Amino acid sequence: MTFNHNFCIMYTLIMATLHKRTCRGHQYWSIVESRRVNGKPRPVILEYLGTAEHLLQRLATGVPQTVKSYQHGLVAVMLEIAAELQIVPFINKYIKERQVRDDFTVGGSLLLAALGRIVQPTSKRHWYAGWAQDSSLAYLIGQPVHKLDSQHFWDQMDCLPVAAIPAIEQAILRQLQKKEDLTLDTLFYDTTNFFTYIDSTNSHCPLAQRGHNKQKRHDLRQLGLMLVVTRQDGLPLFHQVYPGNEADKTRFATHFKKIMQRLKRLAGTLDRLTLVFDQGNNSKQVLGQVVEHGYFVGALSPSQHRQLIEQANTTLQPVSVNPATTLNAYRTRQTIWQQDLTVVVYVSETLRAGQIRGVEQQLTKLWQQLTTLQTKIATPTQRGAPRTLSRLESQIKTLIQTAKVPRQLVDWELTPGVNNSFQLTFARNQARWTELTEHWYGRRILMTNRHDWSTADIIRAYWGQHHVEAAFKNMKNPFHLSLRPQFHWTDQKVTVHGFICFLAFLLGMVAFKRARERAQFTGGPPTLFEKLNSIRLATRVQTATTTKKTATFQTCYQLEVMEPDVAALAQAFGLTDAKIKKSKIPFSVYI
pLDDT of 238-285, one tens digit each? 999 999 888 888 888 888 888 998 998 998 888 889 999 988 888 777
Neighbours of 236 (CB within 10 A): 21
Q: What is the pLDDT of residue 50?
A: 77
Residue 135 gets which letter from DSSP? Answer: B
Radius of gyration of the chain (CA): 31
Q: What is the pLDDT of residue 545?
A: 56
Question: How far apart are alpha carbons 532 and 509 in whole angstroms?
Answer: 14
Kindly give, in sequence order, each residue whose CB lies less than 8 Å from that of residue 291, ignoring residues fewer than 6 positions away: 339, 449
Type of residue at 422: F
Q: What is the pLDDT of residue 1?
A: 37
**Main-chain dihedrals φ then ψ at residue 399, nearest 5 degrees:** -60, -40
Q: What is the pLDDT of residue 350?
A: 92
Q: What is the pLDDT of residue 457?
A: 94
Kindly give, in sequence order, each residue whose CB lies less than 8 Å from that of residue 573, ignoring residues fewer than 6 positions away: 73, 76, 77, 80, 511, 514, 515, 518, 532
Q: What is the pLDDT of residue 137?
A: 95
* DSSP assignment string, 460-515: HHHHTTHHHHHHHHHHT-SSSS--------SHHHHHHHHHHHHHHHHHHHHHHHHH
List, for the chain, all residue ranges whose pLDDT scores fall below the cut of 70. 1-16, 35-40, 46-47, 55-67, 542-553, 578
Residue 314, classed as helix, strand or coil, is helix
Please, what is the angle between helix 73-85 and helix 491-519, to 10°?
A: 100
Inter-residue contact 513 to 505 (CB < 8 Å):
no
**Which of 488, 485, 502 shows the shortest CA–CA distance to 111?**
502
Question: How far apart are alpha carbons 459 and 34 in whole angstroms?
Answer: 60
Residue 219 gets which letter from DSSP? Answer: T
Question: How far apart are alpha carbons 134 and 71 in whole angstroms?
Answer: 6
Kindly give, in sequence order, each residue whose CB lies less than 8 Å from that of residue 225, ignoring residues fewer than 6 positions away: 191, 192, 193, 194, 239, 240, 241, 242, 472, 475, 483, 498
| β-strand pairing of 186-195 with 274-276 | parallel
Strands (E), 108-235: 186-195, 222-230
Sign of the torsion angle spanned by Cα atoms 245, 247, 253, 258: positive
Kindly give, in sequence order, each residue whose CB lies less than 8 Å from that of residue 347, ignoring residues fewer than 6 positions away: 316, 327, 328, 329, 442, 443, 444
Inter-residue contact 127 to 146 (CB < 8 Å):
no
Question: How far apart are alpha carbons 591 and 586 in whole angstroms?
Answer: 8
Q: Give the end-to-end CA distance of the chain in Å, rounded to a whole number.
A: 35
Percent of the chain that is helix, strand, coil (3-state, to 5): 40, 25, 30
CA atoms within 13 A of residue 305's CA, in its CB half-sphere: 22
Kindly give, in sequence order, each residue whose CB lies less than 8 Å from that of residue 57, ignoring residues fewer than 6 positions away: none
Which string of b and e fits 520-548 if b means at least 16 CB within 10 Å?
Answer: ebeeebbebbebbbbbbbbbbbeeeeeee
